[in-house]
Copies of this chain bind each other. A is one copy, B any other.
Amino acid sequence: MSSEQLAELAGVNAAKVRKDLSYLGTYGTRGVGYVVGELVDEIANELGLTHDWPVVIVGLGNLGHALANYRGFGARGFRIVALVDTDGSKVGRPLGELTIESLDELDVIVAQREVAIGVIAVPAPAAQEVADRLVAAGVGSILNFAPTVVTVPDHVTLRKVDLATELQILSFYQQHRTPSPV
């Protein structure tokens, strides 16, 4: 497949595709293009998709359940190894292959199962507390779904997914009738 075709599919400039791919090394063949399978392998390799990343989900309301049931984490190297909630009535309840555990067990869970990533799916008021506990337990990366600002030490990577923000971006484009970006 040529950089032109890849660019078309990705909605970007062909030169950009070539420049970006060139950072991986020389995987194209002049006059021919790229072998898609090779590219996929090399990109997976470069992005670290060869690792297996144990994940803990904190908070099992609707969103937590949705995440716990989400197909496709496995295919990308993420293994959900624990489900944690503060709600005593939820603790002990089975969910898929796992059983909901108490937030108080977090330290042990993270240490024993070598959890690398924590997902916060609790209500906003509890998010900072959960983040602090995750950090204290030794988690290196946090994905926060709670609609609130959470702060963590520098050595911890934090990302936030804010559903209302996504809608806001959409409505902004709609309002301005700007041609759709990515």
Q: With the chains together, A51 CA to B160 CA distance in Å?
A: 25
**Majority SS of interface residues in chain A?**
mixed
Interface residues of A in 58-90 (CB under 8 A from B): 61-63, 65-67, 69-73, 75-78
- The reply on A91 being an interface residue by CB < 8 A is no
What residues of chain B lie closer than 8 Å to A117, measured between beta carbons? Answer: 167, 170-171, 174
* Choice from B55, B143, B157, B166 contacting A180 with Cβ under 8 Å: B157
- Are A180 and B168 within 8 A (Cβ)? no
Interface residues of A in 159-182 (CB under 8 A from B): 159-161, 163-164, 166-176, 178-180, 182
* Interface size class of chain A, counting residues whose CB lies under 8 Å from the partner chain: 35 or more
Q: Which of A96-152 contact B (CB under 8 A)?
A: 116-117, 119, 124, 140-143, 147, 152
Complex CA–CA separation, A112 to B72 (angstroms): 37
Considering the chains assembled together, what is the distance between the CA atoms of A141 and B170 in angstroms?
6
Which chain B residue has the least Cβ–Cβ distance from A163? B70
Residue contact B72 to A164, C-beta cutoff 8 Å: yes
The chain A residues found within 8 Å of chain B, CB to CB, are 47-49, 51, 53, 55, 61-63, 65-67, 69-73, 75-78, 116-117, 119, 124, 140-143, 147, 152, 154, 156-161, 163-164, 166-176, 178-180, 182
- 5 nearest A-B pairs in the assembled complex, by CB-CB distance: A62-B66, A63-B66, A141-B170, A48-B175, A62-B65
